[in-house]
A and B are shown apart, each in its own frame.
Chain A
């Protein structure tokens, strides 16, 4: 079945550092891929998405490119801020509406 594997956290960075959170997936067909973010005490917010190979999703300085050849959708940001501290979830949506999530990666950005 479909599955998502994302890098174990927690990740701790200094402000303005470069961020990469790795995400790989296993799926049949051509799933849509998502990154959701969960700020402390809140629910999930859609950060970005890509629906086909080579698509790049971007939002708030974050980017991720749908790489079918490596079955990856790594999240990147060139310069993180303290306000980016949150838990980040990679997810895929295959042949149905069912979202399959990774376990989440907690990011802490220190000033």
Chain B
């Protein structure tokens, strides 16, 4: 499955670093999502973008800053993270927003904050 790609696949960063996660979808979809998967917790939706406009922010700390320059690309900019932010960050896309739209996931970026 190469519909949704994410880079890098693994990232180690210090708490004072600034890094960015990249997601690209090749499916012609108009909605994109960031999820966080922590150990022993259900997946948590972080952000939703529709046609490059952020439509949902689920109380995510400001040290996570998303950017969607076009409908195919989604970034998650990271700065001054905490060790508890270590997790698998998953990107997903769907044809459009809506409860009937199936979301397709990328392979994820495994982040370790030291």
CB within 8 Å of B: which residues of A?
4, 31-32, 34, 36, 42-46, 49, 51, 89, 93-104
Contact = CB atoms under 8 A, between A and B. Distances in A.
Contacts of A44: 43, 90, 92, 105
Nearest to B55: A97
30 contacts: A4-B42, A32-B100, A34-B102, A36-B105, A42-B107, A43-B4, A43-B105, A44-B90, A44-B105, A45-B1, A45-B105, A46-B103, A46-B104, A46-B105, A51-B100, A94-B99, A96-B98, A97-B94, A97-B97, A97-B99, A97-B101, A97-B103, A98-B48, A99-B45, A99-B103, A100-B42, A101-B43, A102-B42, A103-B41, A104-B42
Nearest to A97: B97
B103 A43 contact: no
B31 interface: yes
A49 B104 CA distance: 12
A42 B106 CA distance: 8
Interface in B30-71: 31, 33, 40-43, 45, 48, 56
B72 interface: no
Nearest to A89: B43
Contact of A43 (B100, B101, B106): B106
B86 interface: no
Nearest to B9: A41
B108 A96 contact: no
